[in-house]
Structure 1
Amino acid sequence: MKFAYRFSNLLGTVYRRGNLNFTCDGNSVISPVGNRVTVFDLKNNKSDTLPLATRYNVKCVGLSPDGRLAIIIDEGGNALLVSLVCRSVLHHFHFKGSVHSISFSPDGRKFVITKGNIAQMYHAPGKKREFNAFVLDKTYFGPYDETTCIDWTDDSRCFVVGSKDMSTWVFGAERWDNLIYYALGGHKDAIVACFFESNSLDLYSLSQDGALCVWQCDTPPKGLRLKAPSGWKADLLQREEEEEEEDRETTIRGKATPAEEEKRGKVKYSRLAKYFFNKEGDFNNLTAAAYHKKIHLLVTGFASGTFHLHELPEFNLIHSLSISNQSITSVAINSSGDWIAFGCSGLGQLLVWEWQSESYVLKQQGHFNSMVSLAYSPDGQYIVTGGDDGKVKVWNTLSGFCFVTFMEHSSGVTGVTFTATGNVIVTSSMDGTVRAFDLHRYRNFRTFTSPRPTQFSCVAVDSSGEIVSAGAQDSFEIFVWSMQTGRLLDVLSGHEGPISGLCFNPMKSILASASWDKTVRLWDMFDSWRTKETLALTSDALAVTFRPDGAELAVAMLNSQITFWDPENAVQTGSIEGRHDLKIGRKELDKITAKHSAKGKAFTTLCYSADGQSILAGGMSKFVCIYHVKEQILMKKFEISCNLSLDAMEEFLNRRKMTEFGNLALIDQDAGQEDGVAIPLPGVKKGDMSSRHFKPEIRVTSLRFSPTGRCWAATTTEGLLIYSLDTRVLFDPFELDTSVTPGQVREALRQQDFTRAILMALRLNESKLVQEALESVPRDEIGVVSSSLPELYVEKVLEFVASSLEVSRHLEFYLIWTQKLLMLHGQKLKARVGTLLPVVQFLQKNLQRHLDDVSKLCNWNRYNMQYALAVSKQRDMKRHLEPLGSEEDADTLEDDSLHLLGGGDRDEGEEAMVV
C-alpha cells in the first residue's frame, strides 16, 4: 500500500509524431506522445495520459465514430484496441508490417488500414466479447508505391486511398457491380490527403507539391448496385425466392437486364478543376490537410509552418497564417468545425486554433531537448523543469499544462529549485548565470553572476530563502549570493573536481557539496564560511541530498553505491550496492554486453521520501528504485518505459541486424531522404528528442517526491513522468477484527454511535464507508466526536479529510473537521511531526487551492456589489439634484462617482454591469 505508486500522467511533452484526433463531442484532442497517448480536455482545461504504452513510438491512432474505442498502432505494426471509457486495453494485434494510416467507417462496422502498397479492410470489434476482435475482410491492391491516406463516404459504401505513386484509388467497401476500383491521376507528386464530399462520390485530392484536384462523379451514392452472386450462391438464392414468390417471376436480387446494365454503365470520374497553393512559385511542400464536410472547410499545413483555410469547391481563401517555422505534421478539425488542431513534431508543439475568432484555445510546447532537472513547489501544486534548450517551464500538477515559460537563459539549464515560500524559482545554467524568477509577476528579478565566466552545474537555496549557492563545473568553486541584494557574499574553494551536487540542511545553516574529487564537504554558512567536515568517499560523488529532518545525508557515487552519513559526527551509517538493480540495457552500437556496460553506470539522482524512511534513486537506466534506508534493501522497482524506439532498452543483441558487413544500425540506408537516420557521434547523448531521428538513450535525469508524499516525478527521455498512489485497487485493512463489518458500521450509525462507526470504518479502510461514516456526523457534534477519537486514529481521519477536500463539494463541513482535529489534538500531533508532515502538506495543498478559487470569486462578487451600491447611490443623488440643477451637473456627478469606483466612464461601467 505504501509503495503502490502507479503511472499517473505525462507532462513536459505534448506531441511527438502521428495523427491528431478530436473526440466526438469536439471538446478533447487525442495526441500521441512517444509510445503513449494523451487526452487534452479543452473544456475543463485538463490533460490526462492513458495508463498504457506500446512497444514502439505511436504511428497512428484511429477513433471509432461513437468515441468509445480507439486503435493505437506503433511503428512496428503492433496495435492496441483501447476502451476510452474504462481506459484499458481490450485486445492486442500485430499487422505484420508498418501501418501508415487507419480510419473507421462512419457506421463503425469496419475500418481500413494502409500498409505498404495495399489497403486492408477489417471488421470492427463489436460490443460483444470476441475471441479475435480484428477479422480481415478484404485486401485491396492497386497502388505501386506506399499508401498514405484514407477517407470514407458518409454512407460507408466506398473509401478512397492516396499513394506516393501520385495516384488516388477509389474502392468499393461492398461488391458493387458498377464500381470495383477507380484510379485517378492528375498529380505530379505524392498524395498527402484525399476527401469525399458530403453525401457524394465527388472527391478532392491534394499532393505534396501544393496541388488540389476536384473530381466529379457521374453516379450518386445510391446509384451503386450490388453485384449479382454467381455459382452455388446464385442457385441457393434462386431456390429461396422460388419458394417465397411462386406468383411472381423469379429474378436474382440486384441483377439487372443487359440493356439496363448497358444503359447505366460504370462509375466515371472527371476532373472539374485544379488549384495550386504555391501561386508565388516558391517551393513549399504541403505536409498535412483536413476537411470538414458540413461547412466545406479545407485546412492545409505546409513545411514552412504556415497554414491556409479555404472554402471548397470555389477555393476561396479565408485565412493564411503561420504558427512556427517548423513543418506542420498533423491537422485535425473538431465536429462543429470551430477548432483546428495542429501538431509540429519538429518542436513538439500542439496548438488548437479557433479560426473564427482568430485566437488560441490551447498552445503548448514541451522542451525542445531533454529535461535535466525538476523541483516541486512547497505546496505540491506546481512543478518546475529545466531543459537543455535553456527554457524553464512551470507545470500545474492538477491540469497538466504549462502556464509560464522563462527563456532568459542562453544555454542549458542544469538545476532548478523553489524557495521555501514557493513564490520564487532559482535556476542555474551553463551560460554562467543563476537567475531568480518571480511567480507573481512572471519576471526575472535577480541575476547572479561570478567574477569570472563559469559554467554552473547545480544550485541550492537555504530554508530561509536568503542564501543562494551554485557549484561551478570548470573552476571547482562554490559561489554564495544574497537573495535580497544580489551581491556575491563568498566563494568557497577546496574541491579539486567539478561540483556535481549541492544541498542545504533543512534544519541548520549547513551546505553539503558533492564533487568528482571523491569528497563531500559540509560548509557552515554562519561561521566564516569554513569547512565544517570533509567526508572521504571511495568513488566520485554524483548526487547528494539531506533527509527532511537534516539528521542524515545520502550520497550517490560513480561505483553504483549509495552511502548514508551522519552529518553531525561525520560517520558513515550505511551503504547500498545498486549496480544489479540498475539493470542496464544494451545499446544498438555497443560492442560489449549489457553486463559489462553496467560497470560504468550509476545512480545520478536521489530523493528522500517525505517521512525520510525510504529513498528514491534513478540514473542511466530505465528503472527507478525505492530503497528502505534503515534496512538497506530494495522495496520496489519501477520500469519507467518499455519503448523500444529508445536506445539501451534491449538486454541482448539483435542477431537479425548483424550481417557480414557489420551492424545494420551503422549503415545509414535512408541518407538521401529528408527524414533519414542520423547516427550520433561516439559519446553524444543529446540530440533532437522531438524528431527522434536517432534513438535517444533512456535515462532518468532527476527525481523528486511530492511534499505531500502522494506522488513522485521523474524527468526522463520520454518526458516528465508522474507516479501517484492508487488506493482504489488495493485493500489495506487496519487492525481488522472479525466483528468489524460494513453492516456493523451502518448499525452503529443508526444508533448514532458515531465514534464507534468511524473507528470500524477506518479499520476496514474503505474510502466510501469512511466517507459515509464521517458525513453522517451532525455538524454540531463534530467537536465531540473529534475529541473522543484515539490518538492513533486522528492521523487516519486527518489524511482522509485532506484527500476528501480535493474532490468533495462539502467544503465547510470538512473544514470544520480539520479545525476541530487540529485544535483538539495539536499538542499530541507535534510529537510525531516527522511522520505527519506529508499529511499536513497534502492538507495545505488542497486548502490553498480552494482558497485561490474561492477568493477570486469572492473578490469579483464584492466588486460587483460595490459597483451596484455606487450606481444606486449616484442615481438617488441624481434624482435629488434634478429639480435643483441642470442635467449636465447630474451627468458630471455620475461620471465622478464611477471614476472614484475605478470603473472608467459611464459606458464602461454599464458594460461591466452587463458582464
Structure 2
Amino acid sequence: MNGHGDEEDDHGDVFLDEDDVLQEITVDEEDLPDADDDAGLGTDIEEPDDSMHIFTGHSGEVYTVVSNPNEATMVATGGGDDKAFLWKIGQTNWGFELQGHKDSVSALGFSADGELLATGSLDGLIQVWDTSSGKVKCKLEGPGGAIEWLRWHPKGHLVLAGSEDSTVWMWNADNKNPFLQMFSGHGSSVTCGDFTPDGKSICTGSDDASLRIWNPRSGETIHVIKGHSYHAEGLTCLTMTDSKNITDSTLAITGSKDGSVHVVNVITGKVVSSLTAHTDSVECVAITPSFPWVATGGLDQKLIIWDLQHSSPRCTCEHEEVVTCLLWLGASQYIATGCVDGKVRVWDSLSGSCVRTFTGHSDAIQSLALSKNGDFLVSVSLDQTARVFETADIPNK
C-alpha cells in the first residue's frame, strides 16, 4: 500500500515557493518561434550542393550545353546574356568568351571531329568557332527569324539549322561562300530536326504539326507526314535511330505538344507506331545506343522508357515537377533528367528506380551534357550557372 501511495504522490500537483526560484529570465517575444515554424528551424532548409564545379561566367539565364565529342572535358554553354562560353571541366584557367550575337544564344553544336563549334542565336545568326583558338571561323546568315536548333553533318562540316521563320538552312563551314541550301515548305516555326545517321537525308519537325523528309542536295521534299495518323499539334522534339539493336535504322521518333509520340519510317514516310502514355506536352526525346529503347519526358512530370520493338512503356518514372531535358549516359542503362525543380535525377532504365539525385541549382534545368570521357554530367539552369556532377557518384555505375 505504501508503495502505491508513493506513486500517487509522484504524479500529483507540484508547487514552487518563491524560495525555490533561482533566477528569472526575460524572453523577448520576437525570439519565440512562429506557430507554423518547424520546431523553430524554419521551413526553407538549404539543400546540399552536389556539384564538383560551378561555372559562373554567364550573367544571364543559361539555356544550352554541349560536350565536345573528341575532347575529354571540353564543353560549351550559351545563354540569355547573348554569349557562349567554351571551357574545360577542372581547368579554371582555360576558356573563351564567345561574343558577337545580339540576342540569346539558343542553340549549340560541335562538329563530329570536335574542331568547330557552332552557336545559334535568337538574332538569326550562326557563328562558327575554332575550338582550339576560340576565334570566329565564319558567320552563317540567311534565316529571318530566331534559330531554334542546329546540327552538324555526321561526317563533315555541314551545318543544318531550323528557324522560327518556318525555313531550314544548310551551309558548308569550310567554304568562303558557305550557303548551300534553303528548305522551304513548313507553315510555322521549325522546332526540331537533324540529318539521318548516314547523312543522306534530312528530317525536320514543325509547329505546323508536320514532319518533312528532305533531299539535302536538291532541297526538295521527299515526304510530308501529317494528318489523323500523326500529331494533332506542333512537334517539340525529334531523335533519329542509329542503334544496331533496332532492325530499321531509318526511324524518326517525334514528340508533340499533344502528348503523343510517333515513330516514322524515313524511307517510306509512313507512321509505323504510336507511343501513347503522356498526358501533356512531350518536351524531350532520346534513344539509347545499347537497347531498342527510347526515353521521353514531358510537362506531365514523367519520364517514360519505351520498348520500341513492342511499342509499349517499359517503365514510368514520376517527377515532382516538369521534365525539361534528358540524356542517356553513354551506352549504359542509366538516364539523367533535368527538371523545373532544379534537380538532376539519374534513373536505372532496367528497374525504373531513381538511383541518384544531384542538387545545387536554384532554378529550372534547361539542358544536360555528358563529357566525352563519361566522368562528368553538366547541367545548365535559369539560375545563371552551369554545374558539373561526377558520374562516379552514381551507385553501381
TM range (shorter): 0.5 to 0.7
Aligned to 2:296: 617
Aligned to 2:169: 479
* Higher helix proportion: 1
Amino acid at match of 1:701: T
Using the TM superposition, give the Cα deviation of residue 422 of structure 1 relative to its aligned residue in structure 2, in angstroms. 2.2
**Residue 492 of structure 1: SS of its match in structure 2?**
strand
Aligned in 2, Cα 1:391/1:553: closer, same or farther, shift over 3 Å? same
Query: CA–CA distance in 1 between the matches of 2:267 and 2:103?
Result: 38
Give yes or no for contact 2:278–2:302 (8 Å, CA) kept in 1: no
Using the TM superposition, give the Cα deviation of residue 710 of structure 1 relative to its aligned residue in structure 2, in angstroms. 6.0
Q: Are 2:340 and 1:717 equivalent residues in the alignment? A: yes
Query: Where do 1:334-373 residues align within 5 Å?
Result: 364-365=55-56, 370-373=61-64
Aligned to 1:630: 309
Query: CA–CA distance in 2 between the matches of 1:400 and 1:614?
Result: 36
Query: Where do 1:123-272 residues align within 5 Å?
Result: 141-142=27-28, 144=30
Q: Are 2:155 and 1:464 equivalent residues in the alignment? A: yes
Query: Where do 1:294-305 residues align within 5 Å?
Result: none
Aligned to 1:494: 185
Aligned to 2:12: none
Aligned in 2, Cα 1:845/1:467: closer, same or farther, shift over 3 Å? same
Using the TM superposition, give the Cα deviation of residue 411 of structure 1 relative to its aligned residue in structure 2, in angstroms. 1.9
Query: Where do 1:702-781 residues align within 5 Å?
Result: 702-709=325-332, 711-719=334-342, 721=344, 723=346
Give yes or no for contact 1:711–1:722 (8 Å, CA) kept in 2: no
Amino acid at match of 1:717: V
Q: Are 2:266 and 1:567 equivalent residues in the alignment? A: yes
Q: Are 2:141 and 1:449 equivalent residues in the alignment? A: yes
Using the TM superposition, give the Cα deviation of residue 639 of structure 1 relative to its aligned residue in structure 2, in angstroms. 4.5
Q: Are 2:108 and 1:416 equivalent residues in the alignment? A: yes
Q: Are 2:276 and 1:577 equivalent residues in the alignment? A: yes
- Aligned-pair identity (%): 16
Give yes or no for contact 1:364–1:402 (8 Å, CA) kept in 2: no
Using the TM superposition, give the Cα deviation of residue 401 of structure 1 relative to its aligned residue in structure 2, in angstroms. 7.8
Aligned in 2, Cα 1:632/1:710: closer, same or farther, shift over 3 Å? closer
Using the TM superposition, give the Cα deviation of residue 516 of structure 1 relative to its aligned residue in structure 2, in angstroms. 1.4
Aligned in 2, Cα 1:401/1:430: closer, same or farther, shift over 3 Å? same
Using the TM superposition, give the Cα deviation of residue 453 of structure 1 relative to its aligned residue in structure 2, in angstroms. 4.0
Q: Are 2:240 and 1:520 equivalent residues in the alignment? A: no
- Normalised TM-score (structure 2): 0.65
Query: CA–CA distance in 2 between the matches of 1:394 and 1:713?
Result: 23
Aligned to 1:531: 221
Deviation string for 1:394-428 (max 9, x for gaps)? 5767x598964644233222222221112322222
Deviation string for 1:592-639 (max 9, x for gaps)? xxxxxxxxx311221111235111212324332222222222223345
Name which of 118, 121, 145 aligns with 1:429: 121
Amino acid at match of 1:532: I
Give yes or no for contact 1:386–1:414 (8 Å, CA) kept in 2: yes
Give yes or no for contact 1:623–1:638 (8 Å, CA) kept in 2: yes
Aligned to 1:558: 257
Using the TM superposition, give the Cα deviation of residue 551 of structure 1 relative to its aligned residue in structure 2, in angstroms. 1.9
**Residue 565 of structure 1: SS of its match in structure 2?**
strand
**Segment of structure 1 superposing worse, 717-726 or 510-519:** 717-726
Using the TM superposition, give the Cα deviation of residue 434 of structure 1 relative to its aligned residue in structure 2, in angstroms. 1.1
Query: Where do 1:863-902 residues align within 5 Å?
Result: none
Query: CA–CA distance in 1 between the matches of 2:311 and 2:65?
Result: 26
Query: CA–CA distance in 1 between the matches of 2:128 and 2:337?
Result: 23
Aligned to 2:361: none
Query: Where do 1:807-826 residues align within 5 Å?
Result: none
Deviation string for 1:631-677 (max 9, x for gaps)? 2222233455x5xxxxxxxxxxxxxxxxxxxxxxxxxxxxxxxxxxx
Using the TM superposition, give the Cα deviation of residue 559 of structure 1 relative to its aligned residue in structure 2, in angstroms. 1.4
Using the TM superposition, give the Cα deviation of residue 465 of structure 1 relative to its aligned residue in structure 2, in angstroms. 3.0
Using the TM superposition, give the Cα deviation of residue 534 of structure 1 relative to its aligned residue in structure 2, in angstroms. 1.4
Deviation string for 1:664-710 (max 9, x for gaps)? xxxxxxxxxxxxxxxxxxxxxxxxxxxxxxxxxx5443333244446
Query: CA–CA distance in 1 between the matches of 2:158 and 2:305?
Result: 31
Give yes or no for contact 2:98–2:134 (8 Å, CA) kept in 1: no
Query: CA–CA distance in 2 between the matches of 1:525 and 1:366?
Result: 38
Query: CA–CA distance in 1 between the matches of 2:316 and 2:59?
Result: 29
Aligned to 2:282: 603
Aligned in 2, Cα 1:371/1:142: closer, same or farther, shift over 3 Å? same
Deviation string for 1:799-827 (max 9, x for gaps)? xxxxxxxxxxxxxxxxxxxxxxxxxxxxx
Give yes or no for contact 2:160–2:194 (8 Å, CA) kept in 1: no
Query: Where do 1:796-835 residues align within 5 Å?
Result: none
Aligned in 2, Cα 1:572/1:141: closer, same or farther, shift over 3 Å? same
Aligned in 2, Cα 1:511/1:518: closer, same or farther, shift over 3 Å? same
Query: CA–CA distance in 2 between the matches of 1:395 and 1:722?
Result: 24
Q: Are 2:214 and 1:546 equivalent residues in the alignment? A: no
- Normalised TM-score (structure 1): 0.30
Give yes or no for contact 2:278–2:298 (8 Å, CA) kept in 1: no
Amino acid at match of 2:111: T
* Higher strand proportion: 2
Using the TM superposition, give the Cα deviation of residue 563 of structure 1 relative to its aligned residue in structure 2, in angstroms. 0.3
Amino acid at match of 1:414: S
Using the TM superposition, give the Cα deviation of residue 476 of structure 1 relative to its aligned residue in structure 2, in angstroms. 0.9
Aligned to 1:506: 197
> What is the CA RMSD across the aligned residues, in angstroms?
3.8
Give yes or no for contact 1:467–1:483 (8 Å, CA) kept in 2: yes
Give yes or no for contact 2:210–2:225 (8 Å, CA) kept in 1: yes
Aligned to 2:37: none
Aligned in 2, Cα 1:713/1:366: closer, same or farther, shift over 3 Å? farther
Deviation string for 1:758-802 (max 9, x for gaps)? xxxxxxxxxxxxxxxxxxxxxxxxxxxxxxxxxxxxxxxxxxxxx
Query: CA–CA distance in 1 between the matches of 2:291 and 2:97?
Result: 33
Q: Where does structure 1 lack aligned partners over 5 or more consecutive residues?
A: 1-138, 148-349, 351-361, 581-600, 643-697, 731-840, 848-915
Query: CA–CA distance in 2 between the matches of 1:603 and 1:401?
Result: 37
> Which structure carries more relative contact order (alpha carbon 8 Å, separation 6+)?
2
Give yes or no for contact 2:315–2:349 (8 Å, CA) kept in 1: no
Aligned in 2, Cα 1:501/1:427: closer, same or farther, shift over 3 Å? same
Amino acid at match of 2:113: T
Using the TM superposition, give the Cα deviation of residue 462 of structure 1 relative to its aligned residue in structure 2, in angstroms. 0.9
Query: CA–CA distance in 2 between the matches of 1:846 and 1:545?
Result: 21
Aligned in 2, Cα 1:623/1:478: closer, same or farther, shift over 3 Å? same
Query: Where do 1:325-404 residues align within 5 Å?
Result: 364-365=55-56, 370-378=61-69, 381-393=73-85, 404=95
Using the TM superposition, give the Cα deviation of residue 505 of structure 1 relative to its aligned residue in structure 2, in angstroms. 0.8
Query: CA–CA distance in 2 between the matches of 1:431 and 1:375?
Result: 20
Give yes or no for contact 1:373–1:702 (8 Å, CA) kept in 2: no
Aligned in 2, Cα 1:709/1:700: closer, same or farther, shift over 3 Å? same
